[in-house]
Amino acid sequence: FGDPEAQVIFPMLNEDLSWLLASAATGALPERPVRFRAEPHVGIVLAAGGYPDAVEAGRVISGIDAAASVPGAIVFHAGTSRLDGKLVTSGGRVLTVVGRGATHRDAIDVAYRAASHIHFDGMQFRRDIGRKALVT
């Protein structure tokens, strides 16, 4: 899943990105800095079996509602689609589970706790996400 030395921590927006993009497109950006959240965030990519090579598509995904109900967690879709009324994998990077917390350790714990609710055949993810933020 790439170079673990390349992990970078980015702040999360605390306002609507689509509004900022529309404002930029019309030349009407606010005359203030963009608003970011102060709390640390950690994102874990849940990848399809076979990723990064030939991915296994069409695997039924379960547990997203339970993951999203973990306080401080949000789930972003990337390689998902609907097939016969079920949510299935359709790409290599299937979901990203983001955890927010008062500390980096808290954010890591939230992200992995939320990710533990999600299941699909062949699911894989890194288990070292956020560790570099703990080494200071």
Residues 17-38 have pLDDT tens digits of 899 899 999 999 888 888 888 8
Q: What are phi and psi of 84, to 5 degrees?
A: 55, 40
pTM of the model: 0.81
Distance CA 10, CA 5 (A): 15
Q: What is the pLDDT of residue 10?
A: 58
With cut-offs at 50, 70 and 90, classify the pLDDT of residue 5.
Answer: very low
Report the alpha-carbon angle 85-75-89, nearest 5: 40
Q: What is the widest separation between alpha-carbon atoms in the chain?
A: 49
Report the alpha-carbon angle 73-43-55, nearest 5: 115
Distance CA 62, CA 79 (A): 14
